[in-house]
Amino acid sequence: MKVFKFGGASVNSVERIKNLAKIVKQYPDEKLLIVISAMGKTTNALEKVAEAFYEGKKEEALRLFEQVKQQHLTSAKNLLTVDYFPCAVHLKNLFTEAEWLVHDKPVRDFDYYYDQVVCIGELLSTALVSFYLNEAGIVNKWIDVRDIIRTDDNFRDANIDWEFTKTKIQGTVAPLFNDLNIVITQGFIGSTDENESTTLGREGSDYTAAVFANILNTESLTIWKDVQSVMNADPKQFPDAEPIPELNYNEVIEMAYYGAQVIHPKTIKPLHNKNIPLFVKCFLEPTLPGTLIHNQALKKQLPAIIVLKEKQVMLELSSKDFSFVGEHHVSHLYHLFEKLKIKPNLTQNGAISFLSVFDDRVEKIEKLALEASELFDVKVIKDLSLLTIRHFNKQLFEKLTEGKKILLRQQTPDTIQVLIQ
Ligand code: ASP
Ligand code: MG
């Protein structure tokens, strides 16, 4: 058995869904558990619906939701002939789930409503694909993953209850494969023991796929993306970025930690624990080899891996009375980070100041600066970039930093990081 994960870009049009079918057809004798994301930018669109609703703009929320509905119904119309009607009924039932909520007034936290609305994206896309594959003769069963993946109620970043989920997958998902080869389900979403929908954090579908691979003990997981493979840098930032044919879990964890947009960081552990290889392949050119990620030492030396994070902000926190910044200050700060759910990308402690670098999420940074100002003098510097190079060499480092003003630099034998103004 294999797990396939198809991201939003692989299902964002009628042509792409047909392309997905072509890929799946290449595996006629394989048992496939297929995890799919919401179509294209649906998650972003649904976020807007949830925001409008929460701001009390019900009409606006319904108008935005209408666009999501029409887009899915139109896709269904263009994909299906005989099964359009039952598919539309299924989609409409899902629409209703979000709509009854939008007609109410918000009385709970935003994050709760966010999850109830945003989860619809994955339910819609998977229903559409499942109907289409069945009509195209690729027999499959659609399941609502909210009956399977149990989480806590930490909305928007829910944690999986592994015991419950394992029992469910083994007891109800695995037996489905006795009668058919393909099961289709949603990434990114789950539900609490009170049947409230939850989400696992943006881009969380990779993680869902890894959870299924782990519990079903599959021979591999393949993540189908719109890039030819994992690259050593973002080709949009570095046009001569090169493909990496082979990686191991350790390296991927490091890359994700430094901000490379490869795979959702939570994906690796469930695979690593069961030693399940991960393939990253291109759905546009499925014959390309892609990247193989495994648990062994690498045969070939890796190229330098470059991660450039833009829109960074540095907080310089200095003690008010020229006293040293000690454990007391630092632990206070880390409590603040935790409370505000904000993670520094880099920190450095000096005698009377503590430097920390973050993604510039304006609202959170303002709150942090305000709260920290009780204990420190706070200086905020914006519009910075954080450059990380793993397996760096001197020439490359000099080339990438030439003529740039470096505010902060950290280095280990393997990795160099600089904050650039
Ligand atoms: N649809 C969700 C998102 O856009 C989850 C995913 O794509 O993995 O974040
Ligand atoms: Mg996605």
79: confidence class by pLDDT, cuts 50, 70, 90 = very high
pLDDT on residue 271: 96
Nearest residue to 372 via CA among 335, 400, 326, 321: 335
319: confidence class by pLDDT, cuts 50, 70, 90 = confident
283: confidence class by pLDDT, cuts 50, 70, 90 = very high
pLDDT on residue 160: 98
301: confidence class by pLDDT, cuts 50, 70, 90 = confident
Q: What's the whole-number average pLDDT of the chain?
A: 95
d(CA 287, CA 279): 13
DSSP 8-state symbol, 388: E
Interval between CA 188 and ligand 2 midpoint (Å):
9
Ligand 1 pocket mutation pick from 6, 126, 188, 261 by most atoms within 8 angstroms of CB: 188
Query: pLDDT over 70 for what percent of the chain?
Result: 100
Q: What is the 3-state secondary structure (H, E, C) of 264-288?
A: CHHHHHHHHHHCCCEEEEECCCCCC
CB distance 291 to ligand 1 below 6 Å = no
Interval between CA 128 and ligand 1 midpoint (Å):
17
Determine which residue's CA is closest to atom 7 belonging to ligand 1.
203
Determine which residue's CA is closest to atom 5 belonging to ligand 1.
203
Interval between CA 157 and ligand 1 midpoint (Å):
12
pLDDT on residue 20: 98
- How confident is the model over 147-176, as a mean pLDDT? 97
284: confidence class by pLDDT, cuts 50, 70, 90 = very high
Which residues in 245-274 are b (16+ Cβ under 10 Å) and which e?
Answer: ebbbbebbbbbbebbbebbbbbbbebbbee
d(CA 127, CA 144): 9
CB distance 386 to ligand 1 below 6 Å = no
Domains of the chain: 2-294 (3.40.1160.10), 305-420 (3.30.2130.10)
329: confidence class by pLDDT, cuts 50, 70, 90 = confident
351: confidence class by pLDDT, cuts 50, 70, 90 = confident
pLDDT on residue 327: 84
d(CA 309, CA 344): 12
pLDDT on residue 201: 93
Interval between CA 30 and ligand 1 midpoint (Å):
26
Interval between CA 399 and ligand 2 midpoint (Å):
33
pLDDT on residue 147: 98
pLDDT on residue 265: 85
Q: Report whether 126 contacts 72 (CB < 8 A).
A: no
Ligand 1 pocket mutation pick from 5, 6, 37, 125 by most atoms within 8 angstroms of CB: 37
pLDDT on residue 300: 84
pLDDT on residue 140: 98
CB distance 10 to ligand 1 below 6 Å = no
Answer yes or no: is pLDDT of 237 > 80.
Answer: yes
- How confident is the model over 181-209, as a mean pLDDT? 97
Ligand 1 pocket mutation pick from 122, 124, 205, 207 by most atoms within 8 angstroms of CB: 205
Q: Report whether 123 contacts 130 (CB < 8 A).
A: no
